[in-house]
Structure 1
Amino acid sequence: MILPEYDNQCGWYELLNNVSSFPPLEDQATFHTVVIGGGFVGNAAARRLAENLPDEPFLLIDALKIGQGASGRNSGFVIDQPHKRELELSSDAHKAKIVRLNRTAIEYFETQIDKYGIECQWSKAGKYQAAVGERGEKHLANYEHLLKQGNEVYHRLSAEEMRNVFGTDYYSAAIYTPGGMLMQPAALMRGLADNMPSNVRVVEETPISEIERTGTGFVLTANNGAKVRCRHIILATNIFTPELGFMRNRILPVMTFASMTRPLSEAEMSVYGGQTDWGLTPADHAGTTVRMTQDRRLIIRNSYRYAHDYNTPAHLLPKMKLRHREGFLARYPHLKDVEFEYTWGGASGLSGNFETFFGKVEEGVYASCCDQSVGAARGTISGMMLADMVAGRHGQLLQDMVEVSGNPSWLPPKIFLRVGVPLRMQMARFASRSEL
């Protein structure tokens, strides 16, 4: 059984101060529902369960420290619109439901952040999508067409505006949409976990190794031998879900890598000449994501691998750092003395047919997985809706969630994936080389 591992490399988590501690599970206890996984899905599911059923006890359990896993490793975007394949391939009605769901998740985040004073660099900064050359501009033109079709507000930037925001002349075209949010993901995860309702017990550093069905529910056994009983299980484990015996051969684990600089000095900020607190995704799917944080750190994210081992191989990080350095210097040759402080990988779950999964896996077991690399808003709303499903609360949002989800297709055996997926990624990287 492969278990999640922490590599001490995730910049977002390593920058946290005074991280709280939730003790590992050691006793035996009984809960209404156990939520396995403390990322976006699990955090939202546990909180919503507590709100729906305030007299019932719940357990949120994570194999690592909350914030160390995939949800604490993303680039800090909370995107309100359909993204990538869903934007391009979905019907107008499908996209309208996704927008409604994502914006509900954003409102839910904001409610908790305001209520508990969570310091996570939350910002209504919107999102930029940008192109480098001809290939990217074609993708960007299609993106603009789709925004117009959906009657979405957007702004196409001039060359001067791009330079003033991004601090570089590298990009040939960019579009701004105002609805997205930016944040520090590990800080957000910790802040939400630290402020769970009183009927949610939070447990960390306790991997679940076995799930056994009983006449009245389930017995879950942790890696340290501790056991808990429950009536329902929510699997917020995404790529690790098959390790627990569910969704086997349906989730394709893909890892992308990021590097984060040290904070820019006052003098370097003057040379940089752009703004702080913005995020840019590439018009070309295989291009480079760039962030400038509120604390003056630039982040470069690109390069993918088939994560058959689920965790980040340490030997790959130097190679990825060099790739990121190339992308950084192409954009910011005037900041050549600014070094990267952290480089890390983060995995997401894809499916062969681009479908996400949401709902009941089998009686008493619920899951949301195959996030298609858009986990913050989608993961949060799906966690909320899984909690509503468990509590028997069926409203329009839950109906929308079911309707925008699907059935991930069966994948070929891993022996074929280990050859075919890397080859396809290399081809995509070559095709998109002008946009990296």
Structure 2
Amino acid sequence: MNSPTMHLPHDDHDCGWYGALPSPAPAKRLSGQQQADYAVIGAGFAGLAAARRLAEQKPGARIVLIDAQRVGYGASGRNSGFVIDLPHKMALEHPDPAHKQRLLGLNRAAIDQLQGLVQQHQIDCQWSHAGKYQGAVGPRGLAYLEHFERLMTELGEPFRSVEGDELANVIGTRHYSRAVYTPGCYLMQPAALVRGLADSLPKNVELLEQSPILGLKRDSKGQWLLQGSDGQVRTPSLLLGTSIFTQEFGYLRSRLLPVMTFASWTRPLSQAEMVAIGIQPDWGLTPADHAGTTVRMTQDNRLIIRNTYKHVPRYGKSVNEATREEIRAGHRKALLARYPQLAGVPFTHTWGGVYAISRNFTNFFGELETGVYATACDNGVGAAWGTISGALLADLAVGAESRHLQDIQAVTGMPSRNPPEPLLGLGVRTRIRMAAWNSRSEL
């Protein structure tokens, strides 16, 4: 099945993470008639993890991993480079302590899995156990920060308050009143990481890029037929690591909300500039107020500013160049509020990335219909959640039991149904505007 008006990925050409990588080898594309024991659509964190686990569980099977774009070009290569162990605020507020512990365990299993692969395959992706700061600018942010501290205390997780000279000597600015440091987060270069994961796939996985699947149907023998523009794949088992694009195949329709968030980064700062600002490399700060500004300093001394959310029903096609310029100007304002010394340092790239959220903050994981499995709706924790949910989706498909599989089945469910358009778009846009207005002091 597929949508009569299928919207394919349409990402901008200005992602700094991807642009910093060397050009990849020519893509191998889907062509002709192919048969696979398992097919995986989507070569982001979820699809890569699913294909790898399938290959490990079924070493004699032929696995085909298919992506509409190049690996690292889509959403998995466009985040801010955090692999977060802690659930986000909505999940931390869940009334069941066991639910929160399951989420923590799943996220940390994903980190362990990624760290093992980075080390085993020597993936050059700026992988770093740097921890994470959550920062507050004014009274609104401080109230959120105090709430976060209470949640962390209830969870029994380590954290410490950082302010004054201690904070300024790391992040190079006194813009923030206070921050809370948590030690379990890892930082990385996302496009480099996913490309490295793809380059190190087991030999029984065939990666096909720039090969959008335009439709799905079941043939007379009960196999799934994946139709591309220049070829087909037949398979009895299909795994979807397609996140928001799952709805384009007719599944989870009216249950996922496509949201795009945006980032800009500077050129690498010189050592003299780093010393003059008093800033350290390799750290990340997320806002205590979720609608505020994320700031990252990379290992190669680039400052990243991320804020601004848009509802994008047509994904990248929903954002025009005028909107991108307006967003870039907002990023510039946020940068100079923190680092007025960088008035002469330009942004070299501004990009957006699409992810899926649900109104009830619920992730989907499981079998959609016979032979079709999906993990969708990461709700903003894509690197860790995509990795562990993709691996466990493969376990589900082959019938392999584990404690982590039981845990993910316990904490996932069905995203709630959205109201119809135009009410949905009006409501989402209004909510985003209100959040931005309420959080303007934290931007």
TM-score (norm 1): 0.98
Aligned equivalents of 1:188 and 1:231: distance in 2?
30
Kindly provide the CA deviation profile for residues 262-319 of structure 1, in whole angstroms up to 9, marking residues without a partner as x: 1001221112211110011100010100000000000000001101111152422111
- Are 1:279 and 2:279 an aligned pair? no
Aligned to 1:322: 329
Match status 1:237 vs 2:242: yes
- Cα distance, 1:186 vs. partner? 0.3
Render the CA deviation track for 1:6-39: whole Å, top value 9, x for unaligned: 4211110011014233311112111111110000
Aligned to 2:222: 216
1:121 alignment partner in structure 2: 126
Give the match for residue 189 of structure 1.
Answer: 194
Partner-residue secondary structure (3-state), 1:274:
coil
Instruction: Summarize the alignment of residues 27-38 of structure 1 with structure 2, pairs less than 5 Å apart.
Output: 27-38=32-43
CA distance in 2, matches of 1:240, 1:3: 8
Counterpart in the other structure of 2:209: 204
Partner of 1:333: 340
Q: Secondary structure at the match of 2:386?
A: helix
Q: Residue deviations 1:178-237, cap 9 Å, x none?
A: 111000000001000011100000000000001011223211101x23101001111111
Q: Distance in 2 between matches of 1:405 and 1:77?
A: 22
Partner of 1:288: 293
Write the letter of the residue equivalent to 1:269. Answer: M
Of residues 63, 70, 73 in structure 2, which corresponds to 1:58? Answer: 63
C-alpha deviation, 1:155, in angstroms: 1.4
Distance in 2 separating the partners of 1:245 and 1:342 = 34
Identify the residue that residue 166 of structure 2 maps to in structure 1.
Answer: 161
- Of residues 360, 375, 378, the one that matches 1:371 is 378
Q: Which of 382, 385, 389 is matched with 1:382 structurally?
A: 389
CA contact (8 A) 1:306 1:421 kept: yes
For 1:107-146, what aligned pairs fall within 5 Å after superposition?
A: 107-146=112-151
Alpha-carbon offset, residue 93 of structure 1: 0.8
In structure 2, the CA distance between the partners of 1:253 and 1:90, relative to structure 1 (3 Å rule), is farther
SS at match of 1:216: coil
1:80 partner letter: D
The one-letter code of the counterpart of 1:362 is E
SS at structure 2 position matched to 1:248: coil
Alignment of 1:23-102 (within 5 A): 23-102=28-107
Q: Deviations over 1:73-125 (max 9, x none)?
A: 00000001111211123521111111111111011101111111100000000
What secondary structure does 2:32 align onto?
A: coil
SS at match of 1:311: helix
Distance 1:190 1:328 in 2: 29
Contact 1:45 1:384 in 2 (8 A): yes
Q: Secondary structure at the match of 2:352?
A: strand
Q: Does the Cα contact within 8 Å between 1:252 and 1:349 map onto a contact in 2?
A: yes
1:350 equivalent to 2:350? Answer no
Counterpart check, 1:433 vs 2:411: no
- 1:404 aligns with one of 403, 411, 419: 411
- The AA in structure 1 aligned to 2:136 is A
Distance 2:242 2:40 in 1: 9
Aligned partner (choices 236, 259, 262) of residue 257 of structure 1? 262
State the shift of 1:377 in Å.
0.3
2 CA distance for matches of 1:388 and 1:167? 45
User: d(CA) in 2 for partners of 1:285 and 1:414?
Assistant: 26
Partners of 2:109 and 2:25 lie apart in 1 by 28
**Does the CA-based 8 Å contact 2:32-2:230 persist in structure 1?**
no
Q: Structure 2 CA distance, aligned partners of 1:158 and 1:373?
A: 27
Q: What is the CA distance between 1:49 and its match in structure 2?
A: 0.5
In structure 2, distance between residues paired with 1:89 and 1:323: 34
**Alignment counterpart, residue 427 of structure 2, candidates 412, 420, 423:** 420
User: 2:115 is paired with a residue of what secondary structure?
Assistant: helix
Aligned partner of 1:305 in structure 2 is 310
Asked if 2 retains the 8 angstrom alpha-carbon contact of 1:124 and 1:179, the reply is yes
Equivalenced residue count is 435
1:7 to 6, 12, 21: 12
Residue type of the partner of 1:54?
A: P
Q: Which moved more, 1:266-275 or 1:59-68?
A: 266-275
- Write the letter of the residue equivalent to 2:186: M
Q: Judge conservation of contact 1:310–1:347 (CA < 8 Å) in 2.
A: yes
- Counterpart of 2:435 in structure 1: which amino acid? A
The more displaced of 309-318 and 134-143 is 309-318
Gaps of 5+ in 2: 1-5
Residue 3 of structure 2 corresponds to none
Which ranges in structure 1 are unaligned for 5 or more consecutive residues? none
Is the 8 Å Cα contact of residues 46 and 387 (structure 1) preserved in structure 2? yes
